[in-house]
Amino acid sequence: MNLEKVIFAFFIVLALTLNFGFFIGDIADPVHHNVYELFAAIVVSLIATILKFGDRTHIGAVLLATSLVADLQLIVAAIVWGIVEHVSQTGMTPHAMAAIVSLSGGAVLANVTSVILLVTETVMVRR
Amino acid sequence: MGNHNIVFVLLRRLHSPLIALVCVYAICILGFVLIPGVDDNGQPWHMDFFHAFYFVSFMGTTIGFGEIPYAFTGAQRMWATVSIYATVVVWLYGIGFLLTILQEPGFKQLLSQTSFRRSVKRIREPFYLICGYGDTGSKLVKALTESDITAIVIEIDAERVNTLELEDNRIFVPGLCADASIPDTLLMAGLKQRNCVGVVALTNDDAVNLRVAIASTLLNPGVRVIARAETRDAGDNIASFGTSQVINPFETFAGRLAMALHSPGTFLLHEWLTSVPHEKLTDPIFPPHGKWILCGYGRFGKAVYERMVAENLQVTIIEATPETTNAPDDVITGRGTEAITLQKAEIDKAVGIVAGTDDDANNLSILMTAGELNPDLFMVARQNSRSNDAIFAAADLDLIMRRGSIIAHKIFALMRTPLLAKFLDLAREQDEAWANLLISRIGGVIADNPPVTWEVSINIDDTPAIQNRLATGDDITINNIYQNPQNRELDLPCIPLLIRRRNTQFILLPDEHLLLEASDQILFCGRRKAQDMIKWLTNNPYVLNYIITGEEHPSGYLWRLFSRLNQKRIAKQEFK
């Protein structure tokens, strides 16, 4: 058992699960989407990205790319949230909530890709 | 060595500080969001993520701006105190880590390698790869850059690479501090690049030179390899797999010294033709014949002794440790720096002395003592290190043999004009009178600067005007090439030294009426101005026509038509 692999797989899968938890529910209903979950998803996703820095294998490079995509989507979602709450005077609207959740939905896809790559690599190694 | 990307290496090394930073920020932000506060109306209030992130960001870096948007409660202040220390510590940790990495020798080396590789890739013109930047290497690089030839240096000693960077070269010379015996180093220095024309192995280790020669020949079969070898074994070994040129510093050096003693004319010819740009011309020397004293019987001394004995000179050897150097029986033991040893060698009867030890200070001391005992001596010094130039010049000696510069000159001449090596070989077989005559001819065409040597090849690419004229069956003499295009009655300041015909036949000092043939290669020496003029007249058919016929032909269609009509008119008038 390799501790590095455990930690990395933990963060990759955790990023997906947290993100999925935030994403699931009625897309325009703020009640279904918890801000703490989004925050946790961003932090975990950032850590997963940093863990992949400097991996010079091909699959490492693709994993870095997918987690960068997830970071980008989630951070944009957070920025949209911030703008809606504090910059525009409207407060949270169903329309804005839908935009935030769909951005996180994109991040879910990227996270799923990461997990698929991780599983593929594990199956290929079979050790 | 693969393709290192500096950014990726840096990021991988920064794993832990980056993760620590993310975690500390996350905990602090979460704390501010969870801890309840009170707004300006006394109502309970929770900080949101946006404000928490804002507060933690400026707190971590500046600790300013105060408590926003409302004054904090006690619990919030407590958490802010914890956060301040945590973020400051994690920032210090991260920045300190980054600075440590940037200071690391390994990382610095990676940085310099990357910039070296980049500057090598950027070179477009043909270049030479010089392995070893000692006395010889530095002299060679200087000479190459003076003649606008690009060079790349590999040197294992970091201090010498630094001197290269401080050197004021006309062209930028990329230098890498690495072991040249590792093929990867050579590859990094562009060995496989198409514009790499030659590799010069000049390190002071024969094994390294051997490896450089092998690697270069295998990895880039077309490349010219010039290698230095201190022992004959190593030299034969390097030469055995097709290395273009092997140079033994001791042999070359001793050979030059012997040549200087027995045929000063040929020696001067060598010195002049292999000199590097912007150097002072060597003055002729006149070494006397008679009894010589040779101090030092190492590798250099042995080579000199062999040559001197072959010249039928009477030589007395002074050697400090005759047992270890296998000196002949009549050797005088001593260093030669003290008067008693020199007197034992009968210095009052000697005509000349060679101070040939491998220690510059000893050599000078020998000569100064000898000069006091016998002021008429012809004094020859061996100078080992370039840094002693000033004191050797001040010592007022008859001949100073600088090892580094002799080898550098030889290699430089080989690189520039391969025909020159052949010419010098042939010149060595000629007698002294021949050499003196040629010296005076060369002296007549050049001014104070040393002569430049160059090759002219008769072919369609380099000399189209000549080639085209030869193809039509016209006769062109060698003299036509160096007539002055501005006035054909005069010759350009240069002398044709050698013609290589059909790759096998060599014509030494061709007669001026000799007819040229296609694919001739001609070695010239003279002034740089002549080189440019020759380039002009061998490329421009009109200039060549003027030189051969003395007539100037119009070059445009219109003027050609006019002149044809004019000629017809003149012909008609004559007919009448």
Kindly report, residue by residue over B370-415, the tens digit of the pLDDT.
888 888 888 888 888 878 888 888 888 888 888 778 888 888 888 8
Q: In which residue ranges of chain B is pLDDT below 50?
A: 1-3
Query: Quick check: A46 and B30 CB within 8 A?
Result: no
Same domain, B404 and B454: no
Tokens at A39, concatenated:
């925050």
Closest by CA position to B247, among listed B269, B230, B260, B267:
B230
Query: Quick check: B23 and A47 CB within 8 A?
Result: yes
Closest residue in B to A45 (Cα–Cα): B22
Same domain, B136 and B78: no
Chain CA centroid to CA B276, Å: 11
Residue A51 CB contacts under 8 Å (≥ 6 apart), including other chains? A7, A8, A11, B15, B19
Same domain, B168 and B243: yes
Query: Quick check: B50 and A82 CB within 8 A?
Result: yes
Residue B29 is predicted with a pLDDT of 92
CB B3 within 8 A of CB B118: no
Same domain, B288 and B385: yes
Nearest C-alpha of chain B: how many angstroms from A54? 4
Query: Cα dist. A36→A43, A44, A86, B565 in Å?
Result: 11, 12, 17, 100
CB B347 within 8 A of CB B353: yes
Q: How many structural domains does chain B have?
A: 4
Same domain, B365 and B468: no
CATH of the domain at B139: 3.40.50.720
Please list, residue by residue across B132-156, b when 16 or more beta carbons sit within 10 angstroms of its beta carbon and e when fewer do: bbbbbbbbbbbbbbbbebbbbbbbb
CB B481 within 8 A of CB B466: yes
Tokens at B556, concatenated:
């445009």
Same domain, B224 and B327: no
Any idea what DSSP says for residue B200?
E
Same domain, B236 and B287: no
- The verdict on residue B239 lying in a domain is yes
Residue A76 is predicted with a pLDDT of 94
pLDDT digits (tens, 9 = 90+) for A67-103: 999 999 999 999 999 888 888 888 888 999 999 999 9
Query: Quick check: B18 and A56 CB within 8 A?
Result: no
Closest residue in A to B10 (Cα–Cα): A54
Same domain, B214 and B299: no
For an interface test with B, the pick among A35, A56, A58, A75 (most B C-beta atoms closer than 10 Å) comes out as A56
CB B332 within 8 A of CB B344: yes
Section A59-68 average pLDDT: 88
Q: Which residue in the set B12, B22, B33 is minimally distant from A53, CB to CB?
A: B12
Query: Quick check: B49 and A56 CB within 8 A?
Result: no
Same domain, B238 and B136: yes
Closest residue in A to B6 (Cα–Cα): A54
Query: Quick check: A39 and B8 CB within 8 A?
Result: no
Closest residue in B to A81 (Cα–Cα): B50
CB B264 within 8 A of CB B289: no
Query: Quick check: B29 and A56 CB within 8 A?
Result: no
Q: Is the model's pLDDT at A15 over the cut of 60?
A: yes
Nearest C-alpha of chain A: how many angstroms from B386? 47
Same domain, B283 and B405: yes
Alpha-carbon gap, residue B287 to B263, rounded angstroms: 9
Query: Quick check: A47 and B50 CB within 8 A?
Result: no
Residue B22 is predicted with a pLDDT of 92
Find chain B residues with C-beta within 8 A of A41's C-beta. none
Same domain, B241 and B349: no
Same domain, B198 and B300: no
Q: How many structural domains does chain A have?
A: 1
Alpha-carbon gap, residue B398 to B380, rounded angstroms: 6
Reduced to 3 states, what is the DSSP secondary structure of residue B258? Answer: helix
What residue numbers bound the domain in which A15 lies?
3-125
Reduced to 3 states, what is the DSSP secondary structure of residue A1? Answer: coil
Residue B65 CB contacts under 8 Å (≥ 6 apart), including other chains? B58, B59
Residues 102-131 of chain B with CB under 8 A from chain A are none
Only one residue has tokens 């091909």, namely A58
Closest residue in B to A83 (Cα–Cα): B50
Whether a cis peptide bond, with omega within 30° of 0, leads into B69 is yes
What residue numbers bound the domain in which B482 lies?
446-549
Residue B574 is predicted with a pLDDT of 61
**What band does A42 get if pLDDT is binned at 50, 70 and 90?**
very high
Find chain B residues with C-beta within 8 A of A86's C-beta. 48, 50-51
3-state secondary structure B326-361: CCCCCCEECCCCCHHHHHHCCHHHCCEEEECCCCHH
